[in-house]
Amino acid sequence: MSFKALKGKKVAVLTETEYIPHELDYYSIGFSVLGATVDFMTNLWGEASRTIVSDVDAPGKQVYSMEVDKDPKDYDPNDYDIVLMSANYCSVRLREIPPMGSLGSIEELQTPPAVQFFKKAMENKQIVKGALCHGL
């Protein structure tokens, strides 16, 4: 019999293009092995889904892609036990405002759905948060 320390728990992982593939694999596999459900989310900007691509830090390195169909605007962080901001440049890209690649005023940068989702999670002391790498 296996021990499922996170049985029935829910994990939200906010991610974006330039993610680290092995990090997301670890979340998907590791949390599932422990019994948790893992939802990967990104700003969909009105689309049903988006394909995001991994970081490439060396010539010839394999590029990975993943399709994400969960938009943080459609979910309540209070329904999750763990909320993670994936590492690398994901948090920077999740603060972008349309048109993509644009940054604006401090007020505008607080409006993207992923920013609002993480802000609400930070307000709930019961949620375990992880802001990795640039996520801080």
Side-chain-facing half-sphere of 68: CA atoms under 13 Å: 26
Side-chain-facing half-sphere of 136: CA atoms under 13 Å: 2
Does 2 map to a domain? no
What is the pLDDT at residue 56? 86
Q: What is the pLDDT of residues 16-53, one digit of tens each?
A: 999 999 999 999 999 999 999 999 999 999 999 999 99
Does 4 map to a domain? no
Q: What is the pLDDT of residues 43-81, one digit of tens each?
A: 999 999 999 999 988 888 899 999 999 999 999 999 999
Does 96 map to a domain? yes
The 3-state DSSP class for residue 131 equals strand
Q: Which domain holds residue 71?
A: 10-135
The count of structural domains within the chain is 1
DSSP 63: P
- The percent of residues above 90 in pLDDT, for the chain, comes to 72
The pLDDT of 99-118, averaged and rounded, is: 84
Does 86 map to a domain? yes
**CATH number, domain containing residue 49:** 3.40.50.880
